[in-house]
Amino acid sequence: MEKLDGYKVDLRGMTSDTVSYHWQADNDFFSAVQGPEIKHGSLDVALRVKRTSDAYELEFQLRGGVEVTCDRCLEAMTQPIDALCTLKVVMGDDYADDGEVVTVPEREGTINVAWNIYEFAALQIPLRHVHEECSLTPALSQGEMVNGKSSNGKCSDPRWEALKQMVKSDK
Ligand SMILES: [Zn+2]
């Protein structure tokens, strides 16, 4: 995990109430994290840590794309990622994660957010992900799958677009 040491965030040592971090999570990142869904990708990650009276609010902005497998033709495709995710961290005696709040041991005072970044990215992958041209063709024969497919298809999922609009209009 030493490759991911750069993703350690020092909370206890914060010298001001807001601290910013910036990472490029690339293929090396995804191979070091060893998550099940994403093996390759390129994400621009900006983190803003805000210290409040009782907690630390971590706001992650993820932008870029990750490589997933098209559900239909089983070829690689790029899933665009553009997400704003938040994480609340408090200090306590032992490490804990209840899904909403992460507790880090006060004696350490740091949190490594590599896995959180991975999970946020994985959450953005829609349940069903297919190339645009694959989704337009309801039933492909074996031959069509081999011959009729372009190598760099773009992905688009109407539900995902709708969700993005919801998130945008939420601001
Ligand atoms: Zn496909």
Q: pLDDT by residue (tens digit) across 13-62?
A: 999 999 999 999 999 999 999 999 999 999 999 999 999 999 999 999 99
Interval between CA 75 and ligand 1 midpoint (Å):
6
> Are 33 and 140 a contacting pair, CB within 8 Å?
no
pLDDT at 116: 93
Interval between CA 120 and ligand 1 midpoint (Å):
24
The Cα 2–Cα 22 span in angstroms is 18
pLDDT over 70, % of the chain: 79
pLDDT tens, position by position, 72-97: 999 999 999 999 999 999 999 999 99
Sequence-distant contacts of 138-146: CB under 8 A, at least 24 apart: 140/72, 140/73, 145/73
The Cα 95–Cα 47 span in angstroms is 21
Interval between CA 39 and ligand 1 midpoint (Å):
18
Look up residue 34 and give its DSSP letter.
Answer: T
> Are 122 and 35 a contacting pair, CB within 8 Å?
yes
> Are 47 and 9 a contacting pair, CB within 8 Å?
yes
Interval between CA 74 and ligand 1 midpoint (Å):
6
Interval between CA 139 and ligand 1 midpoint (Å):
12
Interval between CA 65 and ligand 1 midpoint (Å):
16
Structure tokens at 96: 């804990």
Between 58 and 153, where is the model more confident? Answer: 58
pLDDT of 141 > 80? The answer is no
Interval between CA 3 and ligand 1 midpoint (Å):
33
Confidence of residue 2 (pLDDT cuts 50, 70, 90): confident
Confidence of residue 149 (pLDDT cuts 50, 70, 90): very low
Interval between CA 73 and ligand 1 midpoint (Å):
4
Beta strands 101-105 and 110-112, pairing class:
unpaired
